[in-house]
Homo-oligomer: A and B are copies of this chain.
């Protein structure tokens, strides 16, 4: 059996795989797809496969995406050939939730101000610190990651309002609201946070009227995908003071163009799509992959975290 990784795990991780599966022929090749035509399984970050690649992959039965975002995959070509796709959804929740809390607490507790004064070697105690405690947060997409963020926000004494299509209950949410009715709760939110994936339904989902409904000092945070909000809508909300602050980890165009207005704005935090980064990442992805591969070899062709190529998540 041939397993192609289109990224290169650390030496000890490669050894771990080879020791677990002496019968498997592993190839670890950074963005090199020359072995795709013979590969039975591909492990990828999900950004490097084209419809042509899929056409050429005669033996391919399973694509394991070591990431959560699958919007850059050639969905139709994969669906047509009936290739199974799975991802590692759960493994992002810890680093992403920690990033969400890091950014929110940093603003509330004046860390940018503290760092700036230190850089200028200035002892300046005139902070405008406030507290996360007692805030209200609206969370779009209370799934694995969103609920983990909700759990931590609740620990800080934040009221959490989850927002999904149905408005049905989700974990660690004090209240729920459907996307349709979200405008009713936005005026109460000190924090509006999205971890929504990119799908047809989430494309430009947040509109001018949503930002107009928010508090003037609301913090908007997008850790999901950049196409949730049209750039122009986001810029107007920030420039006109409809909201106070945006913490953006994702953008309509990535990398963010060098001449983008965000770079000059002092009420935007530009995080270059790194909220899921973690030194523990590949290790955790292998913790998901290894039992799935054992099962696969024994004939169980239903890996955990299957992804529906038609639905998009």
Q: A: which residues have CB within 8 A of B? A: 94-95, 98-99, 101-103, 105-106, 108-112, 114-115, 117-118, 121, 123-125, 127-134, 151-152, 155-157, 254-256, 258, 263, 269-275, 277-280
Contacts and interface: CB of A to CB of B under 8 A. Distances in A.
Nearest to A120: B263
A129 B99 CA distance: 9
Candidate in A117, A258, A271, A279 with the most chain B CB atoms within 10 angstroms: A271
Top 4 closest pairs, chain A to chain B, by CB: A102-B105, A155-B155, A123-B255, A102-B109
Given A99-B109, A101-B105, A123-B256, 20 more contacts: A95-B131, A98-B108, A98-B109, A101-B101, A105-B105, A105-B106, A106-B111, A110-B274, A112-B115, A118-B269, A121-B258, A125-B274, A127-B274, A127-B277, A128-B279, A129-B274, A130-B278, A131-B279, A152-B156, A155-B155
19 contacts: A98-B109, A98-B132, A98-B133, A99-B109, A103-B111, A105-B106, A106-B111, A110-B274, A111-B111, A114-B270, A115-B115, A118-B263, A123-B256, A125-B273, A127-B277, A129-B277, A130-B278, A131-B279, A131-B280
Nearest to A130: B279
B156 A98 contact: yes
Interface of A is mostly: loop
Copies of this chain per assembly: 2
Candidate in A129, A132, A151, A279 with the most chain B CB atoms within 10 angstroms: A129
A131 to B, nearest CB: 6
A193 to B, nearest CB: 15
A121 to B, nearest CB: 5
B114 A274 contact: yes
A115 B115 CA distance: 9
A29 B102 CA distance: 38
A108 B102 contact: yes
A110 B156 contact: no
Contacts of A263: 118, 121
B98 A131 contact: yes
Given A101-B105, A109-B98, A114 B272 contact: yes
Contact of A269 (B114, B270, B278): B114
Contact of A118 (B117, B130, B270): B270
A6 to B, nearest CB: 18
A287 to B, nearest CB: 14
A208 B80 CA distance: 66
Contacts of A108: 98, 102
A114 to B, nearest CB: 5
